[in-house]
Amino acid sequence: MYEQIAANKRRTWVIIAVFVLLVAGVGIAVNFLFAQGVVGVVIAFVVAIGTSIAAYYNSDKVALSMSRARPADPKEYSRYHNLVEGLCIASGLPKPRLYIIDDPAPNAFATGRNPKHAAIAVTTGLLEKMNRVELEGVLAHELSHIRNYDILVSTIAVTMVGILALLSDFFLRFWFWGGRRSRSDSNDAGALGAILAIFGLLLLVLAPLIAQLMQLALSRRRESLADASGVQLTRYPPGLISALKKLQDDHTVIHTASKATAHLWIEEPLDTDNEHVGGRFNRLFLTHPPLEERIKALEAM
């Protein structure tokens, strides 16, 4: 398990580097399509580095704001605070900031850039529907994400995916409505220019999809690892197993969830049950392994 945690940390920095390169690539594609020269390339890299730094320090705030989370009052939600405090003492972690999301669907997520700057958010539905040992299992799972350093790259992905989608959409629209480089510029560039223009357009179109696929790569293995380390923390597998079974039986959908934040939650928050176009599309981008697999893995421990 410790080897997996170390590998997670290495992969985290690799994936962040890929995100930076992807944003820079989009910037360079825009630069070529709009003929801005060397200055445009420099601006592209400055934007890529700047957005990455901003994401590092502010992505947790973005995730909490998108989910409409509010601070959990220690008196009103004393059970929540007490369970987290006990688990933090057992694991040696500092207590994260605790938040509440007013939503009847049971779910939770952890966010932040490191254990000292972490937060956990749970829905009111989770607090109402889980008994003490089940809630402890869910909170141990989320604390494991913090201890395993999953939260940094998972939270940054929220911001970076959004940035890539906005940049791509804006510049594709601008290019379509006449912002492209002039015909004389394209002729001077020759065949190589045409190839680069096609590549630039493809990158603008595919960048949001590539970012979404990176989200999938981030989440699936880390959920299984957090299940195992959460059980190791509580030393009581039936608690998390029972919680996952309740989540499996509950089909309510988080109202504030989006594709950008889907990978953060303990279970898939989007509607994948119905047969309408939206449900079928969401199934293509599942960020979590099936709950059946996770329950079987825990029962085998």
Q: Which positions are annotated as active-site residues?
A: 142
CA nearest to 23, candidates 132, 180, 157: 157
Compute the distance between CA of residue 5 and CA of residue 147 in angstroms, rounded to an integer: 9
Find out whether 164 and 23 touch, Cβ atoms under 8 Å. Answer: yes
Find out whether 26 and 207 touch, Cβ atoms under 8 Å. Answer: yes
How far, CA to CA in Å, does 241 sit from each of 141, 168, 268? Answer: 11, 41, 16
Instruction: List the structure tokens of 164.
Output: 């890539």
